[in-house]
A and B are shown apart, each in its own frame.
Chain A
Amino acid sequence: NAGVTQTPKFRILKIGQSMTLQCAQDMNHNYMYWYRQDPGMGLKLIYYSVGAGITDKGEVPNGYNVSRSTTEDFPLRLELAAPSQTSVYFCASSYPPVKAGETYNEQFFGPGTRLTVL
């Protein structure tokens, strides 16, 4: 299994440009997540999805959009890039926990995309 893959690894955008960060997983996980990591900070949740066709906002959703048309893919769209969106973006996936005592849902992370907006 490839696990969670992200493309591209690096990208430089100009202010106002748009782009899509790709994320795919081959573990048949229901849940997928997008986090951003600003310098010297922990990860913050942008959006998440509990299954194909279902998405919801996280802590920092402004300036981003997502879609989930398949179980495998969860792309993140930046419509009008701004310098404040310079960050490292991580995609993750997991099964949801069902009940105490069962093997719980570890989140598996992709390698990240480093985005710079100039």
Chain B
Amino acid sequence: AQTVTQSQPEMSVQEAETVTLSCTYDTSENNYYLFWYKQPPSRQMILVIRQEAYKQQNATENRFSVNFQKAAKSFSLKISDSQLGDTAMYFCAFMKRSSNSGYALNFGKGTSLLVTP
């Protein structure tokens, strides 16, 4: 089974600053996807960014980027120019690229991020 670990239960950052959220995972798979989801107080799950394990290039989406270290099984999220609207719970998630798991997501416990003025 895959496990996803987020070691930072809570983090705080000032507006316009940069923050990095950590995620490590444990798997024997070679083909997989990794994701960061954002869950604001509305509870809606919002996909922030994804990374295919076969791609060496780190994914970026506007102010969000990842540092994917496959050998170290590490997948951190960097948020640049933090905005008040970034305040949310952030979940790291793993997906095997094999049909026998139904392509379901394995989630970490989450990191609560607070952006302060």
Contact = CB atoms under 8 A, between A and B. Distances in A.
The B interface, classified by DSSP as helix, strand, loop or mixed, is loop
Interface stretch (B41-49, B60-68, B69-77): B41-49
Assign chain A's interface to a size class.
20 to 34
A48 B104 contact: yes
Contacts, number: 61
Contacts of B99: 50, 96
A107 B101 CA distance: 14
Contacts of B102: 31, 33, 48-50, 56, 58
Given A42-B4, A88-B43, A96-B99, A107 B109 contact: no
Interface stretch (A18-26, A69-77, A97-105): A97-105
Nearest to B45: A109
Interface string B76-117: 000000000000000101000101001111111110000000
Assign chain B's interface to a size class.
20 to 34
A112 B43 contact: yes
